[in-house]
Amino acid sequence: MRAMVLHAVREPLRLEERPEPQPGPGQIRVRVEACAVCRTDLHVVDGDLPNPKLPIVPGHEIVGIVEATGPGVMTPVRGTRVGIPWLGHTCGQCPYCRSMRENLCDAPLFTGYTRDGGFASHVVADAAFAFPLPGHDDPVATAPLMCAGLIGWRSLKIAGEGRRIGLYGFGAAAHILAQVCRWQGREVYAFTRGGDRPAQEMALALGAAWAGGSEEMPPEPLDAAIIFAPVGALVPKALAAVAKGGRVVCGGIHMSPIPEFSYDLLWEERQLVSVANLTRQDASEFLGIAVEAGVRTTTTTYPLEEANRALDDLRAGRFQGAAVLVP
């Protein structure tokens, strides 16, 4: 098998030839068809997230075909197309797992961070955390759903039932979530880096009611806002944009420091919350909804060997939507 491997943070990935991994009890081996490139991969490579298991193969938005199954695996069977997400294993025993909050598990494994991921031709995963993909026939189009889509969906659930939803940072997650919001009959207000006309035009083309810079105020107070950009300075701006009782959801795994802000931005029962990881229930809900809503992802493909270029292009904002590696 081929894999792009991170040996030290802030260094380029290296292409390596490795023996094909063998699935253990409860595991499957998947031939990777596509793996999207997530901003979390950047946080791993750039050292923003502490203590990755080095050397590590990044990548956690994986779509592929089950090639082999380990002892005890009844499903998925060989030949099934599956998706593999960020959360790759939970203990099943801690208070969070026992209370249906496995996203907060005390002893998790994360794909592409603490276990090898999908920047490779093959990957091993827990069968229980590999999702069948009925209705999702295009691996490249489906790959971004496995994190950008799932985290967006969890963020929207936590944001509540409000009609006017602000999305700060209009990239892979927001361009998926905007389509879900419109399907639900909500109004989308898209906030981009100032002057990013392509992102604003994309948001409007996807049905956003308004698109502007992150420094701007929306034309109407928002019921909720979701921040996907890893920029702490957006927190007080989003709080200022939501109406009384509104909620601001931080949807990323990493964010720069949040600046000091006046208490009156939080007063009147505004709420500031974060989203961590995902649950298998989130995946079950969202993957069906994505088919019903007719979600279409915008992707730019790269050969596996050009993973470093894909990461650089993501870092610099050189494409719209999501980058996807194709082995």
- The domain that holds 311 is classified in CATH as 3.90.180.10
Question: What is the count of structural domains for the chain?
Answer: 2
What pLDDT does residue 194 have?
Answer: 82
Q: Is 156 a domain residue? A: yes
Query: Would you say residue 290 lies in a domain?
Result: no
Tell me whether residue 193 is in a domain: yes
Task: Say whether both 32 and 55 belong to one domain.
Answer: yes
Do residues 139 and 63 both lie within one domain?
yes
Name the phi and psi angles at 2, rounded to 5.
-110, 145
pLDDT, position 147: 97
Half-sphere exposure of 177 (CA within 13 A, CB side): 31
What is the distance between the alpha carbons of residues 119 and 280, in angstroms, rounded to a whole number?
22
Task: Tell me, yes or no, whether 58 lies in a domain.
Answer: yes
Torsion, Cα of 127, 130, 136, 141 (10° steps):
-140
Q: Mark whether 131 and 154 lie in a shared domain.
A: no
Same domain, 173 and 245: yes
Do 71 and 172 lie in one domain? The reply is: no
Query: How many beta carbons lie within 10 A of that of residue 207, not counting itself?
Result: 14
- Please give the residue range of the domain that contains residue 107: 2-146+297-326
Flag whether 123 is in a domain.
yes
Whether a cis peptide bond, with omega within 30° of 0, leads into 19 is: no
At 264, which CATH number?
A: 3.40.50.720
Task: Say if residue 212 is in the same domain as residue 317.
Answer: no
Number of C-beta neighbours around residue 294 at 10 A:
8
CB 224, CB 159: distance < 8 Å:
yes
- Its pTM stands at 0.95
Residue 195, pLDDT score: 78
- Whether residues 40 and 129 fall in one domain: yes
Residues of the chain with pLDDT under 50: none
Is residue 228 included in any domain, yes or no? yes
Residue 235 is assigned to a structural domain of this protein: yes
Give CA–CA dist 40/43, Å, rounded.
Answer: 5
Q: For residue 34, what are its two tokens?
A: 């596509």
Q: ∠ CA 90-94-100 to the nearest 5 degrees?
A: 70
pLDDT at 287 (0 to 100)? 97
One domain for residues 47 and 116: yes
Q: Which amino acid is at 34?
A: A
Q: Are residues 53 and 167 in the same domain?
A: no
- Whether residue 108 lies inside any domain: the answer is yes
Instruction: Tell me: do 154 and 131 sit in the same domain.
Output: no
